[in-house]
Protein backbone atom coordinates (compact mmCIF):
# COMPACT_ATOMS: atom_id res chain seq x y z
CA UNK A 1 0.00 0.00 0.00
CA UNK A 2 2.89 2.36 0.64
CA UNK A 3 4.59 1.73 -2.66
CA UNK A 4 5.77 4.85 -4.48
CA UNK A 5 2.81 6.67 -6.00
CA UNK A 6 2.79 9.15 -8.84
CA UNK A 7 2.33 12.86 -8.24
CA UNK A 8 -1.20 12.69 -9.65
CA UNK A 9 -2.12 9.74 -7.45
CA UNK A 10 -0.90 11.65 -4.40
CA UNK A 11 -2.86 14.69 -5.53
CA UNK A 12 -6.05 12.64 -5.82
CA UNK A 13 -5.54 11.03 -2.42
CA UNK A 14 -4.98 14.47 -0.90
CA UNK A 15 -8.01 16.02 -2.60
CA UNK A 16 -10.19 13.33 -1.02
CA UNK A 17 -8.90 14.12 2.48
CA UNK A 18 -8.59 17.91 2.71
CA UNK A 19 -11.31 20.50 2.47
CA UNK A 20 -11.30 22.32 -0.93
CA UNK A 21 -9.68 25.58 0.28
CA UNK A 22 -6.86 23.66 1.98
CA UNK A 23 -6.37 21.53 -1.12
CA UNK A 24 -6.13 24.68 -3.28
CA UNK A 25 -3.62 26.11 -0.82
CA UNK A 26 -1.60 22.88 -1.09
CA UNK A 27 -1.51 23.12 -4.90
CA UNK A 28 -0.37 26.74 -4.54
CA UNK A 29 2.46 25.77 -2.21
CA UNK A 30 3.47 22.93 -4.57
CA UNK A 31 3.76 25.27 -7.57
CA UNK A 32 5.43 28.08 -5.62
CA UNK A 33 7.91 25.64 -4.09
CA UNK A 34 8.74 24.20 -7.51
CA UNK A 35 9.44 27.71 -8.85
CA UNK A 36 11.64 28.60 -5.89
CA UNK A 37 13.44 25.27 -6.22
CA UNK A 38 14.24 26.07 -9.86
CA UNK A 39 15.53 29.50 -8.86
CA UNK A 40 17.71 28.13 -6.07
CA UNK A 41 18.98 24.95 -7.72
CA UNK A 42 17.00 22.49 -5.60
CA UNK A 43 15.28 19.32 -6.92
CA UNK A 44 11.99 20.79 -8.17
CA UNK A 45 10.11 17.47 -8.00
CA UNK A 46 11.01 17.01 -4.34
CA UNK A 47 9.92 20.60 -3.66
CA UNK A 48 6.64 20.11 -5.53
CA UNK A 49 5.88 16.91 -3.62
CA UNK A 50 6.78 18.41 -0.23
CA UNK A 51 4.70 21.49 -1.07
CA UNK A 52 1.73 19.41 -2.16
CA UNK A 53 1.77 17.27 0.96
CA UNK A 54 2.97 19.74 3.63
CA UNK A 55 -0.52 20.02 5.16
CA UNK A 56 -1.49 16.37 4.67
CA UNK A 57 -2.09 15.95 8.42
CA UNK A 58 -4.46 18.90 8.57
CA UNK A 59 -7.21 16.37 7.94
CA UNK A 60 -7.12 15.53 11.66
CA UNK A 61 -9.32 17.76 13.78
CA UNK A 62 -7.37 19.89 16.24
CA UNK A 63 -8.55 17.74 19.19
CA UNK A 64 -7.15 14.59 17.59
CA UNK A 65 -3.62 15.94 16.96
CA UNK A 66 -2.18 14.98 20.36
CA UNK A 67 -3.59 11.45 20.27
CA UNK A 68 -2.20 10.96 16.76
CA UNK A 69 1.22 12.28 17.84
CA UNK A 70 1.21 10.08 20.95
CA UNK A 71 0.25 7.03 18.86
CA UNK A 72 3.37 7.58 16.74
CA UNK A 73 5.56 8.45 19.75
CA UNK A 74 6.35 11.84 18.27
CA UNK A 75 7.95 13.93 21.04
CA UNK A 76 6.72 17.47 21.67
CA UNK A 77 6.81 20.10 24.39
CA UNK A 78 4.58 22.55 26.27
CA UNK A 79 4.15 24.84 23.26
CA UNK A 80 2.64 22.05 21.15
CA UNK A 81 0.60 20.82 24.12
CA UNK A 82 -0.98 24.27 24.33
CA UNK A 83 -1.28 24.70 20.54
CA UNK A 84 -1.91 21.19 19.20
CA UNK A 85 -2.42 22.58 15.70
CA UNK A 86 1.39 22.84 15.49
CA UNK A 87 1.51 19.04 15.59
CA UNK A 88 0.07 18.81 12.08
CA UNK A 89 3.57 19.51 10.77
CA UNK A 90 5.17 16.68 12.75
CA UNK A 91 2.29 14.36 11.91
CA UNK A 92 2.52 15.34 8.25
CA UNK A 93 6.15 14.18 8.23
CA UNK A 94 4.91 10.73 9.30
CA UNK A 95 1.76 10.73 7.11
CA UNK A 96 3.67 11.20 3.84
CA UNK A 97 5.30 7.84 4.53
CA UNK A 98 2.21 6.10 5.88
CA UNK A 99 -0.25 7.18 3.26
CA UNK A 100 1.42 8.84 0.29
CA UNK A 101 4.29 6.47 -0.40
CA UNK A 102 6.97 9.11 0.12
CA UNK A 103 10.14 7.57 1.47
CA UNK A 104 12.47 10.55 1.46
CA UNK A 105 13.93 11.98 4.68
CA UNK A 106 14.49 15.38 3.10
CA UNK A 107 10.80 15.71 2.19
CA UNK A 108 9.65 14.46 5.60
CA UNK A 109 11.92 16.96 7.32
CA UNK A 110 10.73 19.88 5.19
CA UNK A 111 7.15 18.99 6.14
CA UNK A 112 8.11 18.57 9.82
CA UNK A 113 9.60 22.08 9.85
CA UNK A 114 7.13 23.90 7.64
CA UNK A 115 5.32 25.70 10.46
CA UNK A 116 7.85 26.72 13.12
CA UNK A 117 11.10 26.25 11.24
CA UNK A 118 14.16 24.98 13.06
CA UNK A 119 17.92 25.11 13.36
CA UNK A 120 20.11 24.17 10.38
CA UNK A 121 17.32 24.29 7.81
CA UNK A 122 18.13 22.79 4.42
CA UNK A 123 17.38 24.73 1.23
CA UNK A 124 14.35 22.48 0.73
CA UNK A 125 13.14 23.23 4.30
CA UNK A 126 13.49 26.95 3.62
CA UNK A 127 11.67 26.77 0.29
CA UNK A 128 8.68 24.89 1.72
CA UNK A 129 8.50 27.20 4.75
CA UNK A 130 8.54 30.28 2.53
CA UNK A 131 6.25 28.94 -0.21
CA UNK A 132 3.63 28.25 2.49
CA UNK A 133 3.74 31.97 3.34
CA UNK A 134 3.46 33.41 -0.18
CA UNK A 135 1.51 30.93 -2.36
CA UNK A 136 -1.08 32.71 -4.55
CA UNK A 137 -4.10 32.29 -2.26
CA UNK A 138 -2.38 34.00 0.72
CA UNK A 139 -3.61 37.53 1.40
CA UNK A 140 -2.18 39.83 4.10
CA UNK A 141 -0.51 43.25 4.02
CA UNK A 142 3.12 42.09 3.72
CA UNK A 143 2.58 39.30 1.18
CA UNK A 144 3.47 41.37 -1.92
CA UNK A 145 6.74 42.46 -0.32
CA UNK A 146 7.53 38.82 0.50
CA UNK A 147 6.66 37.78 -3.07
CA UNK A 148 9.01 40.45 -4.41
CA UNK A 149 11.81 39.10 -2.21
CA UNK A 150 11.12 35.63 -3.63
CA UNK A 151 12.14 37.06 -7.02
CA UNK A 152 14.97 39.35 -5.92
CA UNK A 153 16.56 38.39 -2.61
CA UNK A 154 18.78 35.49 -1.57
CA UNK A 155 17.11 32.47 0.02
CA UNK A 156 18.48 33.37 3.45
CA UNK A 157 17.43 37.02 3.16
CA UNK A 158 13.92 35.91 2.18
CA UNK A 159 13.78 33.49 5.08
CA UNK A 160 15.02 36.10 7.54
CA UNK A 161 12.32 38.53 6.46
CA UNK A 162 9.68 35.79 6.48
CA UNK A 163 10.62 34.64 9.97
CA UNK A 164 10.69 38.25 11.15
CA UNK A 165 7.21 38.98 9.78
CA UNK A 166 5.91 35.72 11.18
CA UNK A 167 7.30 36.48 14.65
CA UNK A 168 5.83 40.00 14.62
CA UNK A 169 2.45 38.58 13.57
CA UNK A 170 2.39 35.77 16.14
CA UNK A 171 3.56 38.14 18.90
CA UNK A 172 0.93 40.76 18.08
CA UNK A 173 -1.78 38.08 18.12
CA UNK A 174 -0.77 37.17 21.68
CA UNK A 175 0.20 33.64 20.68
CA UNK A 176 3.09 31.48 21.86
CA UNK A 177 6.36 31.80 19.92
CA UNK A 178 8.10 28.50 19.25
CA UNK A 179 11.77 28.47 20.28
CA UNK A 180 12.65 26.78 16.99
CA UNK A 181 11.40 29.84 15.08
CA UNK A 182 13.60 32.11 17.17
CA UNK A 183 16.55 29.75 16.78
CA UNK A 184 16.13 29.60 13.00
CA UNK A 185 16.10 33.39 12.79
CA UNK A 186 18.98 33.95 15.23
CA UNK A 187 21.09 31.44 13.33
CA UNK A 188 20.73 33.49 10.13
CA UNK A 189 21.63 36.72 11.93
CA UNK A 190 24.62 35.09 13.63
CA UNK A 191 25.80 34.00 10.17
CA UNK A 192 25.68 37.63 9.06
CA UNK A 193 22.46 37.60 7.03
CA UNK A 194 20.74 41.00 7.08
CA UNK A 195 17.12 41.99 6.55
CA UNK A 196 16.80 42.98 2.87
CA UNK A 197 15.57 46.53 2.26
CA UNK B 1 34.66 49.78 50.88
CA UNK B 2 31.63 47.69 50.06
CA UNK B 3 29.81 48.45 53.27
CA UNK B 4 26.15 49.33 52.87
CA UNK B 5 25.78 52.82 51.45
CA UNK B 6 22.81 55.15 51.64
CA UNK B 7 20.58 55.77 48.64
CA UNK B 8 22.05 59.25 48.21
CA UNK B 9 25.61 57.96 48.36
CA UNK B 10 24.78 55.41 45.67
CA UNK B 11 23.18 58.13 43.59
CA UNK B 12 26.29 60.30 43.82
CA UNK B 13 28.56 57.42 42.91
CA UNK B 14 26.36 56.62 39.92
CA UNK B 15 26.17 60.24 38.76
CA UNK B 16 29.98 60.33 38.64
CA UNK B 17 30.12 57.23 36.43
CA UNK B 18 27.28 57.54 33.92
CA UNK B 19 26.74 60.16 31.26
CA UNK B 20 24.03 62.68 32.23
CA UNK B 21 21.25 61.30 29.99
CA UNK B 22 21.82 57.77 31.31
CA UNK B 23 21.85 59.06 34.88
CA UNK B 24 18.52 60.86 34.30
CA UNK B 25 17.11 57.66 32.80
CA UNK B 26 18.27 55.78 35.90
CA UNK B 27 16.48 58.24 38.22
CA UNK B 28 13.37 57.82 36.09
CA UNK B 29 13.48 54.05 36.39
CA UNK B 30 14.06 54.35 40.16
CA UNK B 31 10.96 56.51 40.67
CA UNK B 32 8.79 54.52 38.25
CA UNK B 33 9.86 51.25 39.88
CA UNK B 34 9.06 52.64 43.35
CA UNK B 35 5.56 53.61 42.20
CA UNK B 36 4.93 50.22 40.61
CA UNK B 37 6.26 48.51 43.74
CA UNK B 38 3.76 50.45 45.87
CA UNK B 39 0.95 49.47 43.50
CA UNK B 40 1.89 45.79 43.50
CA UNK B 41 2.86 45.35 47.17
CA UNK B 42 6.62 44.98 46.60
CA UNK B 43 9.34 46.54 48.82
CA UNK B 44 9.56 50.05 47.33
CA UNK B 45 13.07 50.72 48.63
CA UNK B 46 14.41 47.58 46.96
CA UNK B 47 12.65 48.59 43.75
CA UNK B 48 14.02 52.14 43.92
CA UNK B 49 17.56 50.86 44.47
CA UNK B 50 17.35 48.25 41.72
CA UNK B 51 15.88 50.89 39.39
CA UNK B 52 18.59 53.41 40.21
CA UNK B 53 21.41 50.95 39.65
CA UNK B 54 20.02 48.77 36.84
CA UNK B 55 22.34 50.37 34.25
CA UNK B 56 25.35 50.75 36.56
CA UNK B 57 27.50 48.66 34.20
CA UNK B 58 26.69 50.85 31.20
CA UNK B 59 29.78 52.83 32.14
CA UNK B 60 31.86 50.17 30.35
CA UNK B 61 32.28 50.79 26.65
CA UNK B 62 30.68 48.13 24.48
CA UNK B 63 34.09 46.70 23.52
CA UNK B 64 34.98 46.13 27.18
CA UNK B 65 31.85 44.20 28.13
CA UNK B 66 33.14 40.75 27.20
CA UNK B 67 36.46 41.20 28.97
CA UNK B 68 34.64 42.39 32.10
CA UNK B 69 32.25 39.42 31.95
CA UNK B 70 35.13 36.98 31.41
CA UNK B 71 37.05 38.50 34.33
CA UNK B 72 34.08 37.71 36.60
CA UNK B 73 33.49 34.29 35.00
CA UNK B 74 29.96 35.28 34.04
CA UNK B 75 28.68 32.67 31.56
CA UNK B 76 27.01 33.80 28.36
CA UNK B 77 26.15 32.41 24.94
CA UNK B 78 26.33 33.27 21.24
CA UNK B 79 23.65 35.97 21.46
CA UNK B 80 25.66 37.96 24.01
CA UNK B 81 28.87 37.28 22.09
CA UNK B 82 27.29 38.93 19.06
CA UNK B 83 25.57 41.70 21.08
CA UNK B 84 27.94 42.42 23.96
CA UNK B 85 25.79 45.34 25.08
CA UNK B 86 23.44 42.73 26.60
CA UNK B 87 26.21 41.88 29.06
CA UNK B 88 25.72 45.21 30.86
CA UNK B 89 22.78 43.62 32.67
CA UNK B 90 24.78 40.64 33.91
CA UNK B 91 27.73 42.88 34.80
CA UNK B 92 25.40 45.27 36.60
CA UNK B 93 24.26 42.42 38.84
CA UNK B 94 27.89 42.03 39.91
CA UNK B 95 28.72 45.74 40.02
CA UNK B 96 26.01 46.58 42.56
CA UNK B 97 27.87 44.33 44.99
CA UNK B 98 31.37 45.40 44.01
CA UNK B 99 30.83 49.11 43.98
CA UNK B 100 27.50 50.14 45.46
CA UNK B 101 27.40 48.06 48.63
CA UNK B 102 24.23 46.22 47.65
CA UNK B 103 24.18 42.72 49.10
CA UNK B 104 20.73 41.55 48.07
CA UNK B 105 20.20 38.63 45.69
CA UNK B 106 16.74 39.87 44.72
CA UNK B 107 18.15 43.23 43.55
CA UNK B 108 21.07 41.63 41.74
CA UNK B 109 18.71 39.27 39.96
CA UNK B 110 16.35 42.07 38.91
CA UNK B 111 19.33 43.90 37.41
CA UNK B 112 20.61 40.72 35.75
CA UNK B 113 17.24 40.24 34.05
CA UNK B 114 16.34 43.83 33.23
CA UNK B 115 17.16 43.64 29.52
CA UNK B 116 16.13 40.23 28.19
CA UNK B 117 13.93 38.99 31.04
CA UNK B 118 13.94 35.33 31.94
CA UNK B 119 11.93 32.37 33.20
CA UNK B 120 10.22 32.54 36.60
CA UNK B 121 10.60 36.31 37.02
CA UNK B 122 9.86 37.67 40.50
CA UNK B 123 7.55 40.64 40.96
CA UNK B 124 10.65 42.79 41.51
CA UNK B 125 12.21 41.48 38.27
CA UNK B 126 9.01 42.34 36.40
CA UNK B 127 8.77 45.82 37.87
CA UNK B 128 12.36 46.75 36.98
CA UNK B 129 11.99 45.32 33.48
CA UNK B 130 8.81 47.29 32.90
CA UNK B 131 9.92 50.53 34.59
CA UNK B 132 12.93 50.56 32.26
CA UNK B 133 10.50 50.58 29.32
CA UNK B 134 8.16 53.36 30.50
CA UNK B 135 10.15 55.78 32.70
CA UNK B 136 9.37 59.42 31.87
CA UNK B 137 12.25 60.08 29.47
CA UNK B 138 11.27 57.17 27.16
CA UNK B 139 9.62 58.26 23.92
CA UNK B 140 8.25 55.86 21.28
CA UNK B 141 4.80 55.30 19.76
CA UNK B 142 3.57 52.63 22.19
CA UNK B 143 4.87 54.18 25.42
CA UNK B 144 1.62 55.93 26.40
CA UNK B 145 -0.31 52.67 26.00
CA UNK B 146 2.25 50.90 28.19
CA UNK B 147 2.02 53.70 30.80
CA UNK B 148 -1.75 53.33 30.85
CA UNK B 149 -1.38 49.58 31.47
CA UNK B 150 0.96 50.39 34.38
CA UNK B 151 -2.01 52.11 36.01
CA UNK B 152 -4.80 49.73 34.96
CA UNK B 153 -3.61 46.21 34.13
CA UNK B 154 -2.25 43.38 36.26
CA UNK B 155 1.51 43.03 36.56
CA UNK B 156 1.51 39.94 34.34
CA UNK B 157 -0.72 41.54 31.70
CA UNK B 158 1.61 44.57 31.62
CA UNK B 159 4.64 42.36 31.31
CA UNK B 160 3.06 40.29 28.53
CA UNK B 161 2.30 43.43 26.54
CA UNK B 162 5.75 44.87 27.25
CA UNK B 163 7.51 41.68 26.16
CA UNK B 164 5.31 41.50 23.06
CA UNK B 165 6.11 45.10 22.04
CA UNK B 166 9.77 44.55 22.76
CA UNK B 167 9.88 41.39 20.61
CA UNK B 168 8.08 43.12 17.73
CA UNK B 169 10.52 46.03 17.95
CA UNK B 170 13.66 43.89 18.12
CA UNK B 171 12.41 41.65 15.29
CA UNK B 172 11.58 44.61 13.04
CA UNK B 173 15.05 46.07 13.66
CA UNK B 174 16.60 42.84 12.40
CA UNK B 175 18.27 42.13 15.74
CA UNK B 176 18.77 38.86 17.57
CA UNK B 177 15.97 37.80 19.93
CA UNK B 178 17.17 36.36 23.23
CA UNK B 179 15.62 32.97 24.07
CA UNK B 180 15.04 34.20 27.66
CA UNK B 181 12.69 36.90 26.36
CA UNK B 182 10.69 34.33 24.43
CA UNK B 183 10.67 32.00 27.43
CA UNK B 184 9.45 34.75 29.76
CA UNK B 185 6.60 35.59 27.40
CA UNK B 186 5.64 31.97 26.65
CA UNK B 187 5.55 31.23 30.37
CA UNK B 188 2.94 33.95 30.92
CA UNK B 189 0.81 32.68 28.02
CA UNK B 190 1.08 29.08 29.22
CA UNK B 191 -0.16 30.28 32.62
CA UNK B 192 -3.24 31.73 30.92
CA UNK B 193 -2.28 35.44 30.91
CA UNK B 194 -3.85 37.27 27.95
CA UNK B 195 -2.81 40.46 26.16
CA UNK B 196 -4.87 43.28 27.72
CA UNK B 197 -7.04 45.23 25.28
| The pLDDT value given to residue A1 | 35
Measured between CB atoms, does A119 come within 8 Å of chain B?
A: no
Question: Of A51, A161, A22, whose CA–CA distance to B171 is shortest?
Answer: A161
Residues 6+ apart with CB under 8 A from A182: A167, B177, B179, B182
Report chain A's mean pLDDT, rounded to a whole number: 97
SS3 sequence of A59-108: CCCHHHHHHHHHHCCCCCCHHHHHCHHHHHHHHHHHHHHHHHCCCCHHHH
Domain architecture of chain A: domains with CATH:
7-140 (1.10.3210.10)
Cβ-based contacts of A78 with chain B (< 8 Å): 186, 190
Shortest CA gap A84–chain B (Å): 13
Question: Of B53, B50, B51, B79, whose CA–CA distance to B66 is shortest?
Answer: B79
Is the model's pLDDT at B93 over the cut of 80?
Answer: yes
Measured between CB atoms, does B194 come within 8 Å of chain A?
A: yes
Please, what sign has the CA dihedral across residues B37, B42, B44, B49? negative
Is the model's pLDDT at A4 over the cut of 90?
Answer: no
Look up residue A170 and give its DSSP letter. Answer: H
Cβ-based contacts of A172 with chain B (< 8 Å): 164, 168
CA distance linking residue A125 with residue A119, whole number of Å = 10
CA distance linking residue A111 with residue A88, whole number of Å = 9
Is the model's pLDDT at A110 over the cut of 50?
Answer: yes
pLDDT tens, residue by residue, A115-169: 999 999 999 999 999 999 999 999 999 999 999 999 999 999 999 999 999 999 9
CA distance linking residue A121 with residue A183, whole number of Å = 11
| The pLDDT value given to residue A2 | 44
Q: What are the φ and ψ backbone dihedral angles of B52, each rounded to 5 degrees? A: -55, -45
Is the model's pLDDT at B59 over the cut of 70?
Answer: yes
| The pLDDT value given to residue B197 | 82
| The pLDDT value given to residue A108 | 98
Is the model's pLDDT at A184 over the cut of 70?
Answer: yes
Report chain B's mean pLDDT, rounded to a whole number: 97
Is the model's pLDDT at A175 over the cut of 80?
Answer: yes
Percentage of residues in chain B having pLDDT higher than 70: 98
Is the model's pLDDT at A3 over the cut of 80?
Answer: no
Is the model's pLDDT at B1 over the cut of 60?
Answer: no
Look up residue A136 and give its DSSP letter. Answer: T
pLDDT average, residue stretch B121-129:
98
Measured between CB atoms, does A197 come within 8 Å of chain B?
A: no
Amino acid sequence: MNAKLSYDERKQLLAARLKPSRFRHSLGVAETAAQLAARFGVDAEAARTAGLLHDCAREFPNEAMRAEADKRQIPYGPIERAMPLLLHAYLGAARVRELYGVDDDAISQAIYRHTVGGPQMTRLDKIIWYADMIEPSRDYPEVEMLRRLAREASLDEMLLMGLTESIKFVAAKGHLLHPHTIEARNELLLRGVKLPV
